[in-house]
Amino acid sequence: MGRRIVLGMLAAGTLTVAAAPTLQRAFETVTANDPTGLTGALPNGGGFRYYSVAASVPHKSATTYRLTVNGLVDHPSTYTLPELKAMPQTRLVRDVQCVTGWRVPRTPFEGVRLSRLLDAAGVRPTARAVRLTCFDGTYSESLTLQQARRADVLVALRMQDKDIGHAHGGPARLYVAPMYFYKSAKWLSGITVTDDVQPGYWEERGYDIDAWVGRSNGRDDAPTH
């Protein structure tokens, strides 16, 4: 079955991936053979797909990883992984939902609230947004400051109760629990406070910036990405 046909079936109707195991298998086969090469099944993925818009991504270890916070802040700073681990950690258990239709129920994520890092940096009064950048050199994301300060937005260091491995965006990725998973930028390396929202990688390609699950992008079966 062709990708277009499966996606057409999804778009057509009442069937959802979660409600139709056969269709889900077909969908998985199709996405695993994605002609764009952007996706592929993860070994031991537990329902996750591996996504990277960059062909190759450098590995960062506990000693080489750095996270920079800069922009419209009073105290620009750079964190090491041990420094992030030493901060108070928040654990959330929610469903992961990719905008193309796959979902992983009740996935634990754990890390430092983004709001804590913003407070430590001292956000200036004119600031309105946050831009997230990645050490893959390509991907980016964005949030309004109000979204970034939500209690369910983390700089995640753990996923599925394990340190986040390279394939899932480790050592640290963004985790935006209430939004489609494309907001959760992997291989996070930069947090820049800005005066306006700058659309991220997928947002420049037509996806919603405010990517609330169930309330954005029309529906959760967007055909490509």
Binding site for ligand MTE (CB under 6 A): 48-53, 98, 134, 136, 139, 168-169, 181-182, 184-187, 225
**Max CA pair span of the chain:** 55
Nearer to Mo ion, 94 or 116 (CB): 94
Q: Identity (one letter) of the amino acid at 159?
A: M
Determine how many CB atoms are found less than 10 A away from the CB of residue 43: 7
Nearer to Mo ion, 49 or 113 (CB): 49
Select from 73, 98, 117, 134 the one that contacts Mo ion (CB under 5 A).
98
Q: Which of 208, 206, 201, 141 is nearest to 176 (CA)?
A: 141
102 contributes a contact to Mo ion by CB under 5 A: no
What is the CA 176 to chain-centroid distance, rounded? 7
Determine the size of the site formed for Mo ion (CB under 5 A).
Answer: 3
Least distance between ligand MTE and beta carbon 74 (Å): 28
Least distance between Mo ion and beta carbon 36 (Å): 13
Least distance between Mo ion and beta carbon 116 (Å): 26
Nearer to Mo ion, 27 or 182 (CB): 182
Q: Is 212 exposed, middle or buried (0-12, 13-18, 19+ CB in 10 A)?
A: middle
Q: Which of 95, 93, 115 is nearest to 104 (CA)?
A: 95
Pair of tokens at residue 188:
């996070």
| 53: partner contacted, choices ligand MTE, Mo ion, none (Cβ within 5-8 A by kind) | ligand MTE
Q: What count of residues does the chain have?
A: 225
Pair of tokens at residue 38:
């952007």
Map the footprint of Mo ion across residues 148-207, applying CB under 5 A. Answer: 181-182
Least distance between Mo ion and beta carbon 181 (Å): 5
Q: Which of 183, 216, 187 is nearest to 200 (CA)?
A: 183
Question: CB nearest Mo ion: which residue?
Answer: 98
Nearer to ligand MTE, 3 or 49 (CB): 49
Where does this chain bind Mo ion (CB under 5 A)?
A: 98, 181-182
